[in-house]
Amino acid sequence: MKKVFLILSLSLLSILGTKAQEHKASAYPTEKTWLITTKPQTLFLGFNLGAEYVISPKLSWHSELTSHLHTFDYRSTALKTSLKWHFLGHFGKSLYLEPKLVAGFFHDYTPIDDKPYYAGIGLGLGAMHSISKNKRWFLFYEAGVKTCEPFGYRKDSSPDNDLGIIDYLFISPSSLYDLAIGISYRL
């Protein structure tokens, strides 16, 4: 666990150190801008921390680390990356389409057939807008679906309860539905 927090800290420091140019505080970011993101609803189950890089007014790349540490028996961690195409509007005030890749693992117990790892793809639709006058804080909403395939093997890793499939399909980062409200801060 200490390694995960160390990696997150180093990642955040490297993102802050790579800020190449200042943007006007009154303008929406147009290109080559970093944002730090989080999804507050995940704080009930663990944590979520992400970074987004604005490539152009119509395209951005987003990656996030999500860990559900406070679920029933199935604690899990996942890394998700996506490319956001802002097809209606521009970055900062838009609707976007988001193809995504996700990969993760279950820490102690696995919910399906002793398979501790999962990977998959998904598609989402989202919207974002500024919530501050200086256009540094943004709110985003996402809805999507994804499919994740479990793999690997860990002997005798499933506890005896019926919550495994529910956790895998609806609660964990591998869930079928990907609904979120998030907050972004432009560096």
- Domain presence at residue 38: yes
2 within domain boundaries: no
- Give residue 137's pLDDT: 94
Q: Please give the average per-residue pLDDT across 142-168, as a whole number.
A: 78
Strand partners, 74: none
- Answer yes or no: is pLDDT of 175 > 80: yes
Q: What is the pLDDT of residue 41?
A: 80
Q: Does a structural domain hold residue 100?
A: yes
pLDDT single digits (tens) 82-105: 999 999 999 889 999 999 999 999
Task: Please state the domain count of the chain.
Answer: 1
Q: Is residue 20 part of a domain?
A: no
Domain range for residue 115? Answer: 31-186
Query: Measured between alpha carbons, how far is 109 from 102 in angstroms, rounded to an integer?
Result: 19
CATH number, domain with residue 165: 2.40.160.20
Would you state the pLDDT for residue 70?
Answer: 77
- 155 domain residue, yes or no: yes
